[in-house]
Structure formats: structure tokens, C-alpha cells
Structure 1
Amino acid sequence: WVYLSLHSTYGILWLLKDRLFPDKRWEEEISWYFGIGTFFLVSLYWVAPLILISSRVEPPPPLIAAAITINILGVFLHYGSDTQKYYTLKYQSGLVTEGFFARCRNTNYLGEVLIYSAFAMLTMHWLPFVILGAFIAGIFIPNMLRKDRSLSRYSEFEAYQANSGLLFPKLYSTNQAVEESV
């Protein structure tokens, strides 16, 4: 029931997000082949609940509590950063370097990693972690690097990049001048 509640809430919030602050990339036309391929790729996310249901293993309460905490933190980072980015860019173009993005350039992806890590934790099985790792390596990181290449057109990107982490927040600046410029 915990998994059902967490994943259902995530899905409902995704639908609300799509109506309130949509991602332009999800509005692009794609080919049938790409759509079918994406459907099968995304269906890998359903391996975790399948394992949870079929294994009849019940996660212990401390693990459930940790998974709920990680999931909520992930939802906050994912949707909070997407909201900030959407409304900031709606009113001014350029780099978004404050708030959720002050120390991490891809807070939304970090949120998604936390969300799906929580789902994987509840299964107490290695396969959902492998699938998540494959998504991170094959989709998330290439998208983050593509975004960095795109943002490098801004003159202040080099300073921002030095002061922020790609996926995890950079807690300390290595250069005081860089910190003051961001």
C-alpha cells in the first residue's frame, strides 16, 4: 500500500505539473518508432512494483520510513525545481542560478533519482537499482551534459559551473571570486 500511495501520488502530481508548468520537451512531435521505444523503456519502471507484489516480501518499518522520507525529498526537489525553472524562464531568459539551482545544475534529475531510489528500496531487490542506474547512465547524464553544452553559450556559465554540481549540490566553492559572481 505504501508503494501504491507513493507512486500514485507521484503520477497525480506529474499530471498537475503538466497542466500548470509543462515541460516543452514533452510537447515535441516524435515518430511512432520513438514513441513505442519510449513506452517500452519507461515500462521498466514497473519492474519494481511487480517484484514487490510477486515476492510477497514485506519491507521492515524503518526501511518504509526511510523510503517515504527519500521519496518526499525527491518530489520536493523535482517539482520545486521544475516550478522555479518554468516561472523564472517565463519572465526572463538566461541562466537560472539561484534557489534550487544555486549549487546544483540538475536538481530536477536529483529529485527523480531520489524518487526512484525510494521505490527501489521498498522492493529490497537488486534489479530496480540496476534499472535506475541504467536510466541515470543512459538517459539522465547524457541529458545533463547536453544541457550543459547548451548553457555554455551564456558568458556566466563557466563561473556557475565551477560553483555548482552536475547532479549533486556542490556545498563549498573552490573559488571565492566564483562564489561572489554567482
Structure 2
Amino acid sequence: MTSLVTGWAKLTNYLSTDFLGGPKRLKFNWVINFQKGATAFWVILLMVHYDNYSTQAWVYLALHGSYGFCWLLKDVVFPDPKWQTHVTFGGAFMAIATVLGPYWVIPYLLISPVLGETHVGANWIWMTVAIGMHSLGIAIMMTADAQKYFTLKLKKGLITDGIFKYIRHPNYLGEMMIYGSYAIMAWHWIPWIILAWVWIGLFAVNIAMKEKSMSRYDEWSDYKKKSYYLVPGIF
């Protein structure tokens, strides 16, 4: 792993947990849960404010809104330990400003007239693709996080069975499919720029750090040969 990746990981961790210093009075999951849980209300507010009750707007509300509530359910039933850390107020602000907040730009582009009155979002064919991709992404994410949580409660170590038998980072794949479906719904290039920043600037780095951590196990070499990075049979 290059020093550049390690340095970037340290920088992003500092910005999201220690930025500006001071007491760490907020749990990271509080910050994330606020954005996830409030997304449905944000989309409804946009629909009411811009008087946009199109099929695309309703479908987007169903997709992104339900994902937010699935996330809250997941945090209650099988919480991810990495989100249980405490962060500074500056760290919370940076998490919202650089990642969580930009996610809310996607429904704004779809529902508001900022892209022009003729922009209505994805057509029926691509909406079908988005719905299917979103559903599968939710299933993959929830399955992966549940398996990881309950397996590690019983036995620490490398998880090489279940969904992890085929891909090493299924939770990231699920997240990418979920947010990719929102970009499809918006039907514009700006959401893909936002996602490219998150996927390359955060996901790819986090995955690299996770692979480095998993490499300490004796069975890592054999597991890596038999599994794929994100997409079974491809990558």
C-alpha cells in the first residue's frame, strides 16, 4: 500500500472525527443517522416546495426514503462498531459537508427545476433498472452487515463464508448499487461526479485499508485467490 493512500486515509479520518479539535461529544452514528433518517422528509419537502409530484419524484422518495429507514433499523439491530466512535463538532460538520450533504443534492436535481423545466429524470425503462438495482443493493448491504456483525460476535477473525465467500467487500458493493440507482433516477451527470468523489476518495481508500488489515491473517492469501474484490467473476 502506498504512503499516499495511507496518508489520505489518515486525513479523511481526521476531518471526519477530529477536525478543529475540542471535546468529542457526538457519536458518529448520530450524525449519519440524522442524515439517513431525515432524507425522506427532505425529499417530501422538495416535492411540496416545487410542486413536483411526478412519478419519478414518488419513486425516488420510495427508494431513498426506505433506504434511510433500513439504515436506522440496521443501526439498532446490528450496529457497525466503526460508527460508534465519538467525533468533534467540526468532524460532524465535515462529514455532512463533504459526503452526507452532497447526497441530498441528487433529489434536489431531480425534483427542482434547476436543470430546466423539461428535465424529468429517468424514463420508465431506467426507473425499472434503478428499482431493481436498489432492491438488490439493499439486500446485499443488509446481508453483509448482518453476517459480519453476528459472526464476529461469536468468533473474531477473517470471514470467508456466506456472501463473503464470493466478494470481499459486499457492503461497499451494496452501497454503490443503492446510490447508483439514485443517480440513474436523477438522469444527469452531476450525481455521478458526487458518487465518483465518494467511491474513489473514500470507498476505495477504506477498502484498501481493510485489505491491509485482513492480510494479517494466515488464511488471507488463499482467501484472496478464491474471492473477488467487488463483483463476482469480474473484479
Q: Where in structure 1 do 4 or more consecutive aligned residues deviate above 3 Å? A: none
Native 8 Å contact 1:103 1:171 kept in 2: no
**113, 124, 146: which one aligns with 2:176:** 113
| Structure 2 equivalent of residue 177 of structure 1 | none
Native 8 Å contact 1:51 1:123 kept in 2: yes
| Structure 2 equivalent of residue 27 of structure 1 | 84
Q: Distance in 2 between matches of 1:24 and 1:141?
A: 20
| Structure 2 gap segments, 5+ residues each | 1-57, 114-118
Q: Distance in 2 between matches of 1:170 and 1:105?
A: 12
**100, 103, 115: which one aligns with 2:166:** 103
**Offset at residue 57 of structure 1 (A):** 0.9
The farther-off stretch of 24-33 and 53-62 is 53-62
Q: Distance in 1 between matches of 2:94 and 2:121?
A: 33
Native 8 Å contact 1:105 1:166 kept in 2: yes
1:57-116: CA deviation from partner (whole Å, max 9, x where unpaired): 142111111100000010001111100111111111111111110121100000000000
Q: What does residue range 31-70 of structure 1 map to in structure 2 within 5 Å?
A: 31-41=88-98, 42-55=100-113, 56-70=119-133
Q: What is the alpha-carbon root mean square deviation over aligned residues? A: 1.4
The reply to whether residue 162 of structure 1 matches residue 219 of structure 2 is no
TM-score for both structures, normalised by structure 1: 0.90
Q: 1:171 to 1:63 in 2, by over 3 A?
A: closer
Q: Distance in 2 between matches of 1:164 and 1:58?
A: 37
TM-score for both structures, normalised by structure 2: 0.71
| Structure 1 equivalent of residue 74 of structure 2 | 17
| Structure 2 equivalent of residue 74 of structure 1 | 137
Q: Distance in 1 between matches of 2:81 and 2:63?
A: 26
% identical equivalent positions: 40
Letter of the 2:122 partner, please give it: P
Letter of the 2:131 partner, please give it: I
| Structure 1 gap segments, 5+ residues each | 173-182
Q: 1:138 to 1:171 in 2, by over 3 A?
A: closer
Q: Distance in 2 between matches of 1:166 and 1:135?
A: 18
Letter of the 2:79 partner, please give it: P
**Number of aligned positions between the proteins:** 172
The reply to whether residue 3 of structure 1 matches residue 50 of structure 2 is no
